[in-house]
Amino acid sequence: MPANIVLGAQWGDEGKGKAIDQLAPDSTWAVRFQGGNNAGHTIVFGDTTLKLHQIPSGVTSMDCNLVLGDGMVIDPWVLEEELERWFSLTEERPEGNRLFISERASVILPFHRLYDSADKIVGTTGRGIGPAYRDRIERVGIRFCDISGVISDMDKISNITIRMNKQLDSVGVSERITPESLKSDLQWILDRYPNTIRHTGLMIDSALQNGEQILLEGAQGAMLDIDQGTYPFVTSSVTSRANATHGAGIHPGHVEQCFGITKAYTTRVGNGPFPSELSLNGGPGQHMAEVGHEYGTTTGRPRRTGWLDMVALCDAHRFNGYTGLVVTKLDVLGGLDEIKICVGYDFDGEVIKYFPSTSDEVARCKPIYETHDGFPSLSDEEWISMADRSRSEGIGYAAMPDKVRHIVERIEFLSGISVVSVGVGPDRKASIAKIGGPFDVRSE
């Protein structure tokens, strides 16, 4: 059996968690392959809203094993907070039973959070992600498999704290790391996760050999990729398809499908260029923010909003090769008189349909729009009823009003990617799947 991938196709916050939640029941393993607790996945089922940062979204499927993969940087203290919230909700303790931490993943320590707090340019989440990845690249970071060896060598601990404090000095942070505090923190990790830290690459490979289904889930979106995104306003890891199997510890030949997740409009959090951005002080931009509840899951910061940017989406498709597109939050556009889609840029007087390489160039791009008729606003209950009808009658997108379906068809045509599912509300039932597609689960 193959591995399938779910990736963000924009600047993150696209609704990946819901898509993963829908696919997880057919998967025996859900694997996060990059990022850390700078990500935020929200899953809504009934009256319960679950916000996740490091635990894979497949956690809601009790028969699905969970892996924090080789390519991640993991904050063990934030992970404990998530696990405690999960326990309070379900009384399940998945760690060491169906949730496993890769021994090759890097540890986010208090030092990394302190260092990250000094950022004033990129607009990071301040969670220590970048500094942890930097230590990894410089080959001075601590992986979970390294903890025991570090604890047993006080000279090594002393040298690590000297390096950490010098770096905190360099960015004007006055707090200090002591050898005693570092050793205590590392020992706590071993005590808290004694049966959870494993060679997960071998576990996943064995599952594949046994014919099991693997779901690989990304954290941030395509345009935040360290190599392909709007550098330097990006995350610190490779968020794309190319890293999905590598960050999980398996080879790419296992992959069958790669799903890109995009909102029916565009948002981003933090700094950086955003060609189709709209004002949050009125008009469609404010409408998207308010109706779509556009606040970061991790930071709580208001998200910047704008019309769907097809240039950026097609660029993401170029280096990810999506086999199917999931369009989320189409319902949010309900009530707008007209809906626009950015189909090109005016770049210093020249019309272009590609995404420039530098942020300065992207910032000079002015969007070129095509305009479509809007459609009325509907209640959550009306959207769910529409989605239920699409499943019960087996009619897929034919359940949508003509003007709604037109937007879906236009996105599919402009992107060149088959739209396999459309989200029309936060609830897990509020999705309409393409007939015969991978998300087509008919109601009984």
Same domain? For 123 and 217 the reply is: no
Same domain? For 56 and 154 the reply is: no
Domain membership flag for residue 101:
no
For the full predicted model, state whether its pTM sits above 0.85: yes
Domain membership flag for residue 392:
yes
Query: Cα separation of 6 and 219, whole Å?
Result: 9
Same domain? For 321 and 429 the reply is: yes
DSSP string spanning 195-257?
TTEE-HHHHHHHHHHTT--EEEEEEEEGGG-TTTSSTTSS-SS--SHHHHTGGGTS-GGGEEE
Domain of residue 9 covers 3-96+200-433
- Considering 192, 226, 244, which residue would you say is the last residue of a domain? 192
- Considering 125, 159, 192, which residue would you say is the last residue of a domain? 192
What's the first-to-final CA gap in the chain, in angstroms?
26
- Among all chains, which residue has been given the structure tokens 């599919």? 412
User: pLDDT of the chain along its 444 residues, tens only?
Assistant: 599 999 999 999 898 888 888 888 889 999 999 999 887 777 666 677 778 889 998 888 899 999 999 999 999 999 999 999 999 988 999 999 999 999 999 999 999 999 998 876 666 677 899 999 999 999 999 999 999 999 999 999 999 999 999 999 999 999 999 999 999 999 999 999 999 999 999 999 999 999 999 999 998 999 999 999 999 999 999 999 999 999 999 999 999 999 999 999 999 988 999 999 999 999 999 999 999 999 876 667 789 999 999 999 999 999 999 999 999 999 999 999 999 999 999 999 999 999 999 999 999 999 999 999 999 999 999 999 999 999 999 999 999 999 999 999 999 999 999 999 999 998 888 999 999 999 997 543
Domain membership flag for residue 302:
yes
86-102 exposure pattern, b = at least 16 Cβ within 10 A, e = fewer:
beeeeeeebbeebbbbb
Same domain? For 263 and 358 the reply is: yes
Same domain? For 184 and 236 the reply is: no
**Predicted pLDDT at 124:** 67
Domain count of the fold of the chain: 2
CATH number reported for the structural domain that contains residue 50 in this entry: 3.90.170.10
One-letter identity of residue 18: K
Same domain? For 92 and 220 the reply is: yes
Distance, CA of 72 to chain centre:
13
| 73 backbone φψ class: left, alpha, beta (φ>0; ψ -120 to 50) | beta
- Considering 165, 192, 219, which residue would you say is the last residue of a domain? 192
Decide: residue 326, CB within 10 A, 0-12 exposed, 13-18 middle, 19+ buried. Answer: buried
Look up residue 399 and give its DSSP letter. Answer: G
Domain membership flag for residue 283:
yes
Same domain? For 289 and 220 the reply is: yes
| 299 backbone φψ class: left, alpha, beta (φ>0; ψ -120 to 50) | alpha
Same domain? For 113 and 85 the reply is: no
Same domain? For 77 and 122 the reply is: no
- Among all chains, which residue has been given the structure tokens 């009256």? 47
Return the SS3 of 351. strand
One-letter identity of residue 388: D
How many CA within 13 A on the CB side of residue 142?
27
403-412 exposure pattern, b = at least 16 Cβ within 10 A, e = fewer:
ebbebbebbb
* Contacts of 170 by beta carbon, 8 Å cutoff, 6+ apart: none
Query: Cα separation of 1 and 98, whole Å?
Result: 20
CA dihedral (105, 109, 113, 116) positive or negative: negative
Write the pLDDT tens digit of every residue in 260-302.
999 999 999 889 999 999 999 999 999 999 999 998 766 677 8
CATH number reported for the structural domain that contains residue 117 in this entry: 1.10.300.10
Same domain? For 137 and 72 the reply is: no
Same domain? For 393 and 347 the reply is: yes
Domain membership flag for residue 441:
no
**Predicted pLDDT at 132:** 96
Domain membership flag for residue 439:
no
| 371 backbone φψ class: left, alpha, beta (φ>0; ψ -120 to 50) | beta
Which sequence positions are flagged as catalytic? Answer: 13, 41
Domain membership flag for residue 114:
yes
**Predicted pLDDT at 444:** 38
Same domain? For 234 and 361 the reply is: yes
Order of strands across the sheet with 419-423?
A: 197-198, 99-102, 65-68, 29-32, 214-221, 3-8, 255-263, 324-328, 419-423, 431-433
CA torsion angle 375 376 382 385 (round to 10): -20
Domain membership flag for residue 277:
yes
The answer to whether the CB of 30 falls within 8 A of the CB of 16 is: no
